[in-house]
Structure 1
């Protein structure tokens, strides 16, 4: 039996990489004014539950979405919320594939035509900035999800957990930035 090798030369690999579409690893998200691991600005905090912020969503920008991306979804999630399942502070989906960012602004700012602002864990749509319990530091995760569908087949009144189920089924890639908030006194 004759054996053969599938080794590629370094030059062949370079040509293959140069011609390859964007990989999920290249997908990136930028949160205006905040680097990964840094604290959210005071203006981003929610103005409720003892917090006194402006509830301003920062500007979000992303680039190098995976090949085949047909739409995006964005989520803002507190993984440290004392609920046993975290807390969804903001959910938006059916964002057109040609969108590369959102301007942010008070109460979440505006979304492109056709996009849906989904329910949060408060049971209603809207942006709810960080507001950790007194004395605790929380980690909040901004995530942009590149999806293989133009629109999620989910009712606009769906829970964030159900939207998350559909995100997982349709995701080609994701990019995240984690910000911290607290501890507050």
Structure 2
């Protein structure tokens, strides 16, 4: 009788241990699932503009050179939900389809303070925050110039805001787009982009 009681107790203890272990595993899986759902439900870093993404850029936004006669207007850009730890922003404007083999950089700005989340745009790019720095474009000088693709070609123009983990990039003013891009890659926490289209020359 005593052997039976001891055996029963051991068996009962083993069953109870297995049940507890299984319940712990189920709870751990549930917690992991809940964490994943919470992470996936977070609003992503995003960029908005007064222009409509993936549609043609209005004629006024074209450059006023190289055979184009637009007003050289930059669109307004607003961003939200920057990644945690963001210390500054950079902004780039890039023609992915320029016939150069490496695209074409139309504007490169960095050291935008982390408190800023809007660039109003305007003629010749509009005003920038006081601490922001413009690097050289692929024209070999700082500034902004709007789209002016060769006649008969449709190009994709990409505005991107980069969230960075440093307040200031360790580079000199008037750096080349390639050099700025190298440091953006090193310090980027996230990015948000909008693509616009431009067809033949407008005038």
TM-score normalised by L of structure 1: 0.89
Find the counterpart in structure 1 of residue 159 from structure 2.
142
Q: Which of 45, 53, 65 is the equivalent residue of 1:27?
A: 45
- Structure 2 unmatched runs, 5+: 1-20
Q: Which has the higher helix share?
A: 2
Residue of structure 1 in register with 2:6 after alignment = none
Measured after TM superposition, the shift of residue 10 of structure 1 is 8.8
The answer as to 2:173 corresponding to 1:156 is: yes
**Residue by residue, what CA displacement relative to the aligned partner does 1:40-88 show, whole Å, maximum 9, x if unpaired?**
1111100011111000111111011010000000000000000010000
Aligned equivalents of 1:180, 1:11: Cα separation in 2: 40
How do 1:10-159 residues align onto structure 2 when only pairs under 5 Å count?
12-13=34-35, 17=38, 26-32=44-50, 34-159=51-176
| 1:4-45 CA distance string (max 9 Å, x none) | 63302599549x82xx7x96x61111121x222011111110
Larger Rg: 2
Distance in structure 1 (CA, Å) of the matches to 2:198 and 2:102:
18
**What residue is the counterpart of 2:12 in the other structure?**
none
Q: Name the structure 1 match of 2:30.
A: 8
CA–CA distance in structure 1, aligned partners of residues 79 and 34 of structure 2:
30
8 Å CA contact 2:93, 2:158 repeated in 1: yes
SS at match of 1:165: helix
Quote how far apart the aligned CAs of 1:184 are. 3.2
- What's the C-alpha RMSD, in Å, of the aligned pairs? 2.4
Q: Give the ranges of 4+ consecutive aligned residues of structure 1 lying more than 4 Å apart after TM superposition.
A: 9-12
Give TM-score scaled by structure 2 length: 0.81
Task: Count the aligned residue pairs.
Answer: 179
Please list the CA deviations of residues 110-140 of structure 1 after superposition, one character each: whole Å capped at 9, or x if unmatched: 1111110111000101111001011101000
